[in-house]
Chain A
């Protein structure tokens, strides 16, 4: 939800509540005033009627009003009373029942008692309420729209520097040596925010560079001694005077040194990917890449008598780093080869922007949650570093790709596709 909408909804809610409360209050106040007025009116008419009744010595017919709002009738017994009540009277002109308020009271003249009813129409007060409600509604709409536009106008002006900072942050990419400068906004909060952001980004940038340098240095520092160990051992292996046992021992040390250096390379590669140090991006035709890689691997598959079937329908383009794309495909194909058995099968299909690499394997179902973890080896084979799929998965994460595992019909499937945007 946008900031603007959030503010507007708050405004709407609050103005609505205020108007509701004010409307109710206003209604009761007016009702009270109108009520009081009508009572006053009835009282004054009552007083007038009583006066003219007493002065007039003739019959009571003479004080009947022209609008039929006063009724007089004789009473048999003598009583004293006076009360107010509401009633509905049929109006001849409007052809409907109209609310009235009436005062009923008794009056004695001589020995005769009379009951007098005076009616007063309530129609006017009802009209008044209607007018008030519609007026309130119109006022509500007017005030709200005024607030809405005012708020919009203010927001676009006041929040302008904020949105500028936001777009700068959006375009900022770590590792690309950009110098981020925020302009002075003359709003202290924004200036403070921008200052903090600037410091933070510089710090992140510096840390990133440090880390990168460390990775490179570590690589350099570890690889060189390893190179020494390896080459020295290699030279010792050339020595023809060695006994079998000596040869065997050196051989084991040599193999371990090789494994160590491969492990180191793989770990460094992982951290490089995590640090997003592969910045170059190109459109890579994955199907094409797979084809070339299969050609290179053809004999490795043939020697193991693995049947490779390929089914490509249309090109699949991923925007990614060319080296990483090669590593990704290398690792996936190596995986299909490594964990396969003699006379096995590998099936590769590219369809609907999804690549599926399926292979027969020595094991049945593998725990998918552990498959992409580092050093999670399914076999105890000393040759496997246990990092191949972790690297593949890390590459996928970098480029919003998804690598999934499934097992069906005795085939292990690795499914590579673009991540669905949620």
Chain B
């Protein structure tokens, strides 16, 4: 999987790139809109992360260009401007998703995976994690051949962990993934805890394995070995 990151902030760009490389993607970076457009015209990418506010122009023009030559490429906008206008304009231009800075890398990872699933496999991919099988399109989970009933939030939580397998997911990023704006609520960490507790119980009841590890009281990780 090949990903292009177009972001003018070098530090941030490098952080994203090194993170994505760890995840096993092939990654390229462009610091300016001009360079980005050049690369897009020369090579094919599976997914592009583009900052809207670039020093030499608006990332929206790149999205329009890209839609003409490579319409199958997935596009995620990353923008500091947390304004609805940008979001609506970007999605209208043909972007698939929108993330406003600052975001959690785990959230970015989950969005990229979900986008690639939709684009590359038309969502019909089956995810197999040890004894668990997930069909994301239908939001179904099986253990062996037995279906496992999960609530909406539990399913989202499981998908988030599966996308970030082996990584430590902080309580903050989980809360934000599940509740978005409501994650501010000081109690949301308790809710994260209780959701994870429920999910953990449901999974271990069926599989007999505890997949979740608590990390230093700061987060959780999904471990399969």
A interface residues, Cβ below 8 angstroms from B: 216, 219-220, 223-228, 230-232, 234-235, 237-238, 244, 247-248, 251, 254-255, 258, 261-262, 265, 268, 296-297, 299-300, 303-304, 323, 327, 330, 334, 337-338, 381-385, 388
Contact = CB atoms under 8 A, between A and B. Distances in A.
Contacts of B103: 227
Given A224-B80, A296-B182, A385-B184, 17 more contacts: A219-B80, A219-B81, A223-B101, A225-B11, A226-B102, A228-B9, A230-B102, A231-B16, A234-B105, A235-B105, A238-B167, A261-B102, A303-B191, A303-B194, A304-B187, A338-B185, A382-B186
A234 B9 contact: no
Say what secondary structure dominates the interface of chain A: helix
Interface in B1-45: 9, 11-12, 15-16, 18-19
Contact of A237 (B15, B168, B194): B168
Given A251-B216, A323-B84, A338-B185, A223 B102 contact: yes
Interface string B170-204: 10110000010110111110110010000000000
Given A216-B81, A223-B102, A323-B84, A338 B218 contact: no
19 contacts: A220-B53, A223-B80, A224-B9, A227-B9, A227-B101, A228-B11, A231-B12, A231-B102, A234-B104, A237-B218, A247-B216, A258-B172, A300-B179, A303-B191, A303-B194, A337-B185, A338-B186, A383-B184, A384-B184
Nearest to A277: B83
Contacts of B16: 231
A223 B11 CA distance: 13
Contacts of B218: 237, 247, 251
A173 B99 CA distance: 32
A300 B170 contact: no
A234 B170 contact: yes
A322 to B, nearest CB: 8
Given A234-B106, A337-B185, A265 B11 contact: no
A375 B17 CA distance: 37
B12 A227 contact: yes
Contact of B15 (A232, A255, A382): A232
Contacts of B190: 303-304
Contacts of A247: 216, 218
Contact of A231 (B19, B81, B172, B186): B19
A382 B185 CA distance: 11
Contacts of A225: 9, 11
B225 to A, nearest CB: 13
B81 A235 contact: no
Nearest to B152: A299
B181 A330 contact: yes
A21 to B, nearest CB: 70
A330 B82 contact: no
Among B11, B82, B102, B216, which residue has the most Cβ atoms of chain A within 10 A?
A: B102
For the complex of A and B, 4 pairs with smallest distance between CB atoms? A383-B186, A227-B102, A223-B80, A220-B80
B94 interface: no
B182 A262 contact: no
B80 A338 contact: no
A231 B22 CA distance: 14
A231 B105 contact: yes
A248 B216 CA distance: 8
B112 to A, nearest CB: 14
B216 A300 contact: no
B128 to A, nearest CB: 24
A176 B160 CA distance: 42
Nearest to B216: A247
B145 to A, nearest CB: 30
B153 interface: yes
A223 B9 CA distance: 11
B123 interface: no
Nearest to B171: A255
A255 B186 contact: no
B219 interface: yes
Nearest to B18: A235
B185 A383 contact: yes
Contact of B188 (A261, A296, A300): A300
A323 B82 CA distance: 12
Contact of A334 (B15, B19, B185, B194): B185
Contacts of B19: 231, 235
Nearest to A224: B9
B21 to A, nearest CB: 12
Contacts of B191: 299-300, 303
Contacts of B102: 223, 226-227, 230-231, 261
Contacts of A223: 80, 101-102
Among A231, A251, A382, which residue has the most Cβ atoms of chain B within 10 A?
A: A231
B15 A235 contact: yes
B210 to A, nearest CB: 18
Nearest to B172: A258
Nearest to A337: B185
Interface in B72-92: 80-82, 84
Contacts of B101: 223-224, 226-227
Contacts of B81: 216, 219-220
B184 A238 contact: no
A220 B51 CA distance: 11
Contact of B184 (A231, A262, A299): A262
A415 B185 CA distance: 21
B102 to A, nearest CB: 4
Contacts of A261: 102
Nearest to B100: A223
B79 to A, nearest CB: 9
A265 B79 CA distance: 13
A289 to B, nearest CB: 14
Nearest to A383: B186
